[in-house]
A and B are shown apart, each in its own frame.
Chain A
């Protein structure tokens, strides 16, 4: 053991350690641990701590457990030179000395501690002995106390029992007294009308009386009580039935009756019956307001009345019912719902009748406020009676009314448009002063446009009230989505624009083919109006609508372009119809003039016929009229002296070919050759062709129609020499004045050439007038 204990000492020597000096400190500690472990037989894991290369079984290891001094010495002797041996010897001695001193110090310290411990133990032994004595004394005292206590309780036992019994008797007596006094008490309560207290007393006594009814005295009390209770119940019922005392009292009665154990089912039915009576009275008064004889109050007042009277009553009934008959479960709730549904339905019917009376009126704000109150009022019972679906029904009514309003506004807009048209007709038909007709048309157009626009805006504003933030139903999905997109945008605005176009188009299809029905100026004005709508107004109105009614609905809406196309088509049709009508007027004039005249026996022409002057005048008037509303448009380039140029063309160059027909079979070929060749190079003339939106195109259309008519009429007549010459003069006159109205003056020349050529063909004696003479006559007037 000594050797073992000494072992670590030299092992910790610096020179002796096989490891480098840097690992010295931890190494030493580990070695010490290793030694202890080895000592206590903890061999496992020790190899882990051991530095590699040092075999624990190495007998030459000074610190090892298996150190063998002989071997070690042998090894030293064998291996080391003398000097080293000397060194190791001195080293060893020094180490041994150090170990010895260490050991002595340890022993000394331990000894001191041991001595002090022994002292302490001795002192403790003395103290314990004293304590043991005191404990013994305590034990004897306690035994005495216990003894005394037992004796006392034994003496008090008797009295305690007596006191308990007395207390019980006292309580019983008080209960009995209550019972005996109960009938008189109840009677007093009933007389005083304190029904609530009476019911409470009765409730308290009921169970006891029930239990002891086999005893004669109790039985008597019970009977008395029952009689009184029955009376009480009767009185309560009486009060309940009288009904006049209002819903809260009734509810109280019912509550008391329920407490008295009356059958809930029956009470429930009776309660509803009473409520019905009251609500029906409300409904009757509403109906009376509705009646035709007294001047109906305005709709706001009506809905207010209905809201506070009927709906308030219904609310009270519902809440009282739900409180009282909560125990009834779903069956009771269903009964209430059915009740509410029925009465609600009648109420709605009344409201709808009233609202229907309102359809004709123009004031939307009042209606919207009334609807708002109506809807707001019904939200409370709606929450109470979700099953009855009153709120949904109310919303439906509001939606229906809103739809009807939209329809009403659409009608209003249509009527306004028709009214505008009537105004225009009157303005057009009114006898006007000379020179005043000019500015009238443009002004009328502006008036119509602005009046329609203001009507549309007014309608939009009126309808917009339905979606105002403060209105209770504006956040319903219908008003947020469908109402805005389908109702207002599609139904009202698009519907109106469409109907406007249709109305306008109907002027084209009307039996006005004869010309008289629709004044041509109106056609022109409508056409311009539609064109203006196409270019600007439609998109403006729709933008306005979309801004006012922020459309959240995704349902498809009519795009602006479609409407514009419709409006443009309408404008085009109207203008085309205008051209036809005006063309027809002039055609009829020309036709009459050709058909009624006797061309064979006419005199030599001295003048242009009056009808031609009239044609030119009318054309000029139309030109002025169209110019008020439509732009000039483009015409083909023309020479300043165009009338002269073409005159020479048709009167001289073709003279030989055309005015010398012969009746040999081959002759027609020659006479027609020139005109045929000319036609090959000219475009085919579409007489009743669609026109463009400008003045020149309109005038061209009218003149085309007129001249073609003249041509066809001339071909049906036979002319004498002077008849032909008259036609020549007339045509030249027309040529002088008509070329400036048309887009392509060549067209006028062509048609007039045809007229003269046809007249020549229809003349058995074709001797044309000298061009100079024709010119002179025309210039003379």
Chain B
């Protein structure tokens, strides 16, 4: 069952855990109740698969305040534990609250991101114009504000999104606010780089290339997807303009960084092939993938022609805006996307391309 793919998505007051059995094409759903409020953002701990963080709206009479908290899901629902009770699809479980990442002085939390390589002890939350680094202690039972920084400037600055870089020993975080992308050093909480006007309009999402340490992708309301080299931020390395409305989500494939997934409010999900700026520019095998471990290296069968950059496939199954798209963490050829009307679509990378990359 190594290609079992757990996917998590949020809707209103529930968290659904979807189990996708690739061999039998069966989907199982487990529902977790999230009683404290409406979920706006969700992220899972890289170290403990039972732990996740949410940003949620606290219901109140006159004001909407978005808070963040760390939760533990019940043991039997943890992804990877396969005893999955069949009758659980209708019964709702509750989440166990570990701690609040709360500091009401800092305003609404937009996003929580975990340290990608660590032991799941460090979390960064973005609240209005503050960037807060938390230390989780006592098996995540308590969150201590380790350090913080804030963005000063004219106007009301707000962070919209942030990612923790998997490179540089986990010392770099990138954030998006309005049209600007900024890089931060988590040790000093100071700004490293700043891409002014990265997009013509609001920047919606960011992602780091998992294999190339200086490469960053961003997307925004100008319908564009841009790829940046953070050492030279005056010009994007590459720009894609395939969507016809705001791009809400961008994700690199965890293993094959030429595969880039974007979701947009034009109801489309686009899978792009960015070979020329990937870590495997000419279809070379980079041995970082458990599937390719078993493959024989056959250099003489190297691809005859270097594949071109471009759109691999456009997925139009959604009827409304797509707000989230992500890769499966178990199977590098599987991805899911979620749209406003609650439709979750799971797709595979086209077989021909998969073999082209592997062989």
A411 at interface, CB cutoff 8 A: no
Contacts of B12 in A (CB 8 A): 663, 668
Beta-carbon contact of B265 and A708 below 8 Å: yes
Whether, in the assembled complex, A332 has its beta carbon less than 8 Å from a beta carbon of chain B, the answer is no
Task: Knowing A663-B12, A687-B245, A718-B57 are in contact, say whether A584-B319 is a contact too (CB < 8 A).
Answer: no
A764, CB-defined interface residue at 8 Å: yes
Given contacts A687-B245, A712-B265, A764-B59, contact A514 B14 (CB under 8 A): no
Number of A residues, CB within 8 Å of B: 26
Main secondary structure of the interface of B (DSSP, over half): loop
How far does the alpha carbon of A680 sit from the alpha carbon of B267 in the complex, in Å?
13
A586, B222: Cα distance in complex, Å: 15
Q: Which residues of B contact A769 (CB under 8 A)?
A: none
Q: Smallest distance from the beta carbon of B91 to chain A beta carbons, Å?
A: 11
CA distance A663 to B46 in the complex (A): 31
User: CA separation between A708 and B340, bound complex, in Å?
Assistant: 14
Contact assessment for A689 and B244 in the assembled complex, using a CB-CB cutoff below 8 Å? yes
Shortest beta-carbon distance from A428 to chain B in Å: 22
Judged by a CB distance under 8 angstroms, whether B341 is at the interface is yes
Known: A663-B12, A665-B14, A672-B341. A513 touches B200 (CB 8 A): yes
* Distance of A343 from chain B, by nearest CB (Å): 55
Pairwise interchain contact A708-B245, C-beta atoms closer than 8 A: yes
- Whether A715 contacts B340 in the complex (CB less than 8 A), given A600-B63, A687-B266, comes out as yes
B223 touches A688 (CB 8 A): yes
A712 to B266, CA, bound (A): 11
Q: Which residues of B contact A513 (CB under 8 A)?
A: 197, 200-201, 222
Chain A residues near B24 (CB-CB < 8 A): none
Contacts of A601 in B (CB 8 A): 62-63
Instruction: Say yes or no for B330: interface residue by CB 8 A criterion.
Output: no
Per the bound structure, the CA–CA distance linking A573 and B64 in Å amounts to 42
Proximity bits, B201-233, A CB within 8 Å = 1, else 0: 100000000000000000000110000000000
| Chain B contact patch, size range | 20 to 34
Which residues of chain B from 241 to 258 have a CB within 8 Å of any chain A CB? 244-246
What B residues does A78 contact at CB under 8 A?
none
The answer to the question of A47 belonging to the interface, with a C-beta cut-off of 8 Å to chain B, is no
Using CB atoms, name the residue of chain A closest to B40: A716
The residues of B that contact A70 with a CB separation of less than 8 Å are none
Task: Judge if A684 is at the interface, Cβ distance under 8 Å.
Answer: yes
Q: Does A191 contact B (CB under 8 A)?
A: no
| B11 interfacial contact with A, CB 8 Å | yes
A600/B341 in contact, CB under 8 A: no
Pick the residue among B64, B92, B197, B244 that contacts A511 (CB under 8 A): B197
Q: Taking CB as reference atom, which chain A residue is nearest B222?
A: A513
- Is A231 an interface position by the 8 A CB rule? no
**Given A600-B63, A663-B12, A688 contacting B245 (CB threshold 8 A):** yes
Nearest-neighbor residue (CB-CB) of A661 within chain B: B12
Q: Does B320 count as interface, using CB distance less than 8 angstroms? A: yes
Which positions 677-726 of chain A face chain B at CB distance < 8 Å? 679-680, 684, 686-689, 708, 712, 715, 718
Contact B201 A584 (CB under 8 A): yes
**Interface status of B328 (Cβ within 8 A of chain A):** no
A601 to B266, CA, bound (A): 32
Please, how many angstroms separate the alpha-carbon atoms of A268 and B316 in the complex?
A: 93
A684→B267 contact, CB < 8 A: yes
Are B197 and A718 touching (Cβ within 8 A)?
Answer: no
Within B53-92, which residues are at the interface with A (CB < 8 Å)? 57, 59, 61-64, 90, 92
Determine the distance from Cα of A758 to Cα of B265 in the docked complex, in whole angstroms: 14
Chain A residue contacts of B64, Cβ below 8 A: 600, 718
What are 23 A-B pairs at a CB distance below 8 A? A513-B200, A513-B201, A514-B197, A514-B200, A584-B201, A600-B63, A600-B64, A601-B62, A665-B31, A665-B90, A668-B11, A668-B12, A675-B341, A679-B319, A684-B266, A684-B267, A686-B266, A687-B266, A712-B246, A712-B321, A718-B64, A758-B340, A764-B59
Residues of A within 8 A of B (CB): 511, 513-514, 584, 598, 600-601, 663, 665, 668, 672, 675-676, 679-680, 684, 686-689, 708, 712, 715, 718, 758, 764
Further pairs besides A514-B197, A715-B340: 11, Cβ < 8 Å: A511-B197, A601-B63, A663-B12, A663-B13, A676-B319, A680-B319, A686-B244, A688-B223, A689-B244, A712-B265, A718-B38
